[in-house]
Amino acid sequence: MANARTYYRRYNRRVADASWYANNVAVIAAGLSGLALGVSGLSLRYMSRQTKAAEQTLRLQAEALKVQAVNLENALNVAERSAKAAEDSALSTKALAEIGQRPWVCLEKFEGLEVQTGDLAAFNVATPLTLRNRGLTAALDLRTECRFERFALPVDHGPFVPAPVGPSTTLGPAGVCRFGPLFVLVRNAPDGDEIRRGLSKLLLYGDCSYGDVFGERHHTQWCLEYHVGLKTFSAFKSELNVMT
């Protein structure tokens, strides 16, 4: 009987100890779970802060890149404008140099010579022509075409000047080229009377074509009206008296 009681007490003690251990294990597990949840919460907060910091950094980097892109575009525009200005300046300098150094062939001042026929009913007008190079370099492959003719009014557009096909020559600086004289014949008194009354005109017109050392081609064109009696010439139409 004593042995049975002892065994029973030992059994109860073991059961009580097992319950105690089980309860303690449950408490410890609950504590560990709570700790894990706390750590997880802290980790989530840290990750959220890190994400926001990364987003802010990315925004700042994007804004910085945008500013750099704008500055780069402005710099490229400035460089492009500077290059264009330099190119324009070089072209202007080249053009001014060519203008200053190129040949300029001009028609020198001249007068007409009137010669009456024996019966005084008609007359001839003769005029020599002189071209002078007033530039600083030679006029190359110079060719001239010139005519002296009578035209009935109206002369709306001026006479057509054909392309110069005369002999080629070179005219150096200050050089002179003479040709002519050119003649126009007023055949009878009525024709002469028409000219004096302004019903028809005596026109001297022509074209001088020449090249320069820069490879450009130039023209000196003229269309002049002869005044009978005064023996002088004046420009017939300004647009027909040009130099290029």
Range of weakest confidence among 66-70, 92-96, 221-225: 92-96
Q: What is the pLDDT of residue 52?
A: 80
Could you tell me the pTM of the whole model? 0.60
Q: Tell me the C-alpha to C-alpha distance, in Å, between residue 224 and each of 27, 49, 88, 148, 236.
A: 126, 94, 39, 9, 5
Q: How many residues does the chain have?
A: 244
Residue of 131, 108, 130, 143 whose CA lies nearest to 218: 143
Looking at per-residue pLDDT, the higher value among 178 and 115 belongs to 178
Question: What is the model's pLDDT at position 162?
Answer: 73
Sign of CA dihedral 94, 96, 99, 100: negative
Res 17 pLDDT > 80: no
Contact partners, residue 204, CB within 8 Å, separation at least 6? 127, 146, 147, 148, 182, 222, 223, 224, 225, 226, 233
Per-residue pLDDT at 221:
93
Rounded-to-integer distance, Cα 164 and Cα 143, Å = 6
Helix (H) or strand (E) segment spanning residue 13: helix 2-101
Query: Among residues of the chain, what percentage have pLDDT more than 70?
Result: 80
